[in-house]
Amino acid sequence: MSTLYLGDTVPDFEQDTSIGRIRFFDWAGDSWVVLFSHPADFTPVCTTELGLTGKLQPEFEKRNVKAIAISVDDAASHRSWIADIEDTQKTVVGFPIIADKDKTVAGLFDMIHPKQSGTATVRAVFIIDPQRKLRLTLTYPMSIGRNFDEILRVIDALQLSDAHGVATPGNWRAGDDVIIPLSVQDEEEIRRRFPKGYRAERPYLRFTPQPDK
């Protein structure tokens, strides 16, 4: 197993999926990627999560994000499960599910946590940018479903920070004010980069309207 840190280049791999065999980097192209793991097929919490991902596909596409799931069952099982997901969750699963029966990918991304299970993956989320850098991780216990609104929120925050060099406050959502980082101190640079102005609640706490709104 390997440990991945934020900013690391994630490992490439070739593996079977519900849509056929893929090379991960080739499949990702120039998109952001949300890779999220599931303990097993035909499990109730996972079924709801994959249904939510299907429903949110237009939101991911607006953000240049590709979703890809992973479970330690084989591709034939995934395809059968997808039919159940689409029927029960009333959506289309328009993204692949990696077949990781040999746990190759689970090992590369350290998804097996022995104190949870020696064979099944925890509910991990990896947000990966187009340069293949790991930008954010979330890890949930096997019994707790993920909050997909939060996944979209942090993608918005990451993309905004990359584009405009800002930070986001707690509970930030698209359209809220953002924070001018402490690394920016020159007033001329602040006026140039943030022409909407700013308010300083403290010298170290400066808010400005979201630059691209």
Question: What is the tens place of the pLDDT at every residue in 158-179?
Answer: 999 999 999 999 999 999 999 9
Same domain, 106 and 45: yes
Instruction: From 195, 113, 127, select the one nearest 158 (Cα to Cα).
Output: 127
Question: What is the tens place of the pLDDT at every residue in 60-79?
Answer: 999 999 999 999 899 999 99
Same domain, 182 and 138: no
The answer to whether 46 is a known catalytic residue is: yes
Count Cβ atoms within 10 A of the Cβ of residue 124 and give its class: 0-12 exposed, 13-18 middle, 19 or more buried: buried
Question: What is the tens place of the pLDDT at every residue in 122-148?
Answer: 689 999 999 999 999 998 887 889 999
Same domain, 67 and 141: yes
Q: Is residue 1 part of a domain?
A: no
Q: Is residue 106 part of a domain?
A: yes
Same domain, 142 and 171: no
pLDDT at 141: 83
Indicate the pLDDT class of residue 116, thresholds 50, 70 and 90: low
Catalytic residue among 10, 34, 46, 69: 46
CB of 40 closer than 8 Å to CB of 120: yes
| Domains: count for the chain | 2
Q: Is residue 4 part of a domain?
A: no
CATH number at residue 68: 3.40.30.10
pLDDT at 1: 46
Task: Give the range of the structural domain holding residue 171, as residue numbers without chain letter.
Answer: 165-208
